[in-house]
Amino acid sequence: MSCNEYASYFVQHPAVNQLVRYLDKTAGREKTLRLLQYLCRLLGALQTPSPASNALRLAAQFALTRKLLRFLKPLNHLQTAAQLHANTLLADPVARCLGVLRQLGYAAYLTLDQVNLLRILRILPATPTTAKRVPRWANWCWALALASSLLLDGRKVQVARAKIAELSAATESGDDEKRSAARRDAEAQQHGALRKLAWDALDALIVANNLGFVASGEQYVGAAGVVTSLMGVREVWQGCAK
């Protein structure tokens, strides 16, 4: 193969196409920056003071860039909350209410985070309210969203397990292809809910540390952020596959 053919093969490779789609998404760029932010935070906690300060400065820059990428993102969560509230056909009303509360929590968190961004950019003055209270209120809203999400995850696990038990009892009298497919779907839903439960639990550690409820140490907060960021990157990456 010639150099041009090798170059064409590389550019048109499915993995490269998927990477382009991933980077073309705002969510993909934001998740990547989050990973870099918490990786720098973790390295800053593990290194000696001088390199640590450089890592923490980088983490602050990545955090600022993420705030810019999330500009007006609260509208997405408000729209999703309105759609969930209007969806009266949803079989589980508990999941519906928790889903609405989760979206409203994230919308409030991101709105307050935008106020924090305006303060950092010096568009708003640094006052006790904008410098201290607003970031704390934002973390409380994040905590509300995560608490709702954890309850929702637990509810999904409960419903999936009940469905699996029901299908297992039904297949004792005779194996059926449709029931087997339904069982596989229920098991996949259970696995997804358990994965999201672990994800939200690790994020809850971060927000609990921000609010001062736990003193887990920067290295543990950084590690939790790296893990949840990798989970987010993986989710967006898989969504870009075709």
242 located within any domain? yes
141 located within any domain? no
Q: How far out from the chain centre does Cα 196 lie?
A: 9
225 located within any domain? yes
Residue of higher predicted confidence among 3 and 105: 105
Q: Is the pLDDT of residue 217 over 70?
A: yes
170 located within any domain? no
The DSSP code for 72 is: T
pLDDT tens-place string over residues 144-155: 999 999 999 999
Instruction: Find the mean pLDDT for residues 10-21.
Output: 83
Instruction: Find the mean pLDDT for residues 90-100.
Output: 88
| pLDDT confidence band for 11 (50 / 70 / 90) | confident
C-alpha–C-alpha distance, residues 32 and 152, integer Å: 26
Q: Is the pLDDT of residue 92 over 80?
A: yes
Q: Whose structure tokens read 């009298």?
A: 173
C-alpha–C-alpha distance, residues 103 and 81, integer Å: 5
54 located within any domain? yes
* E strand or H helix that includes residue 228: helix 218-239
For residues 40 and 62, the answer to whether their CB atoms sit within 8 Å is yes
Average pLDDT taken over every residue of the chain: 90
Confidence at residue 196, expressed as pLDDT on a 0 to 100 scale: 97
* E strand or H helix that includes residue 175: none
For residues 221 and 206, the answer to whether their CB atoms sit within 8 Å is yes
Q: 175: burial class by Cβ within 10 Å (0-12, 13-18, 19+)? A: exposed
C-alpha–C-alpha distance, residues 185 and 166, integer Å: 13
pLDDT tens-place string over residues 52-89: 788 889 999 999 999 999 999 999 999 999 999 988 77
Q: Range of 234's domain? A: 1-69+217-242
Confidence at residue 12, expressed as pLDDT on a 0 to 100 scale: 76
Q: How far out from the chain centre does Cα 180 lie?
A: 31
Going by C-alpha positions, the residue among 79, 62, 105 that lies closest to residue 226 is: 62
232 located within any domain? yes
Confidence at residue 5, expressed as pLDDT on a 0 to 100 scale: 67
Q: Please measure the distance between the N-terminal and C-terminal CA atoms of the chain and give it in whole angstroms.
A: 27
Confidence at residue 83, expressed as pLDDT on a 0 to 100 scale: 93
C-alpha–C-alpha distance, residues 56 and 38, integer Å: 9
C-alpha–C-alpha distance, residues 106 and 103, integer Å: 5
Q: Whose structure tokens read 């983490």?
A: 59
Overall number of domains in the chain: 1
C-alpha–C-alpha distance, residues 230 and 226, integer Å: 6
For residues 95 and 156, the answer to whether their CB atoms sit within 8 Å is yes
Confidence at residue 13, expressed as pLDDT on a 0 to 100 scale: 80
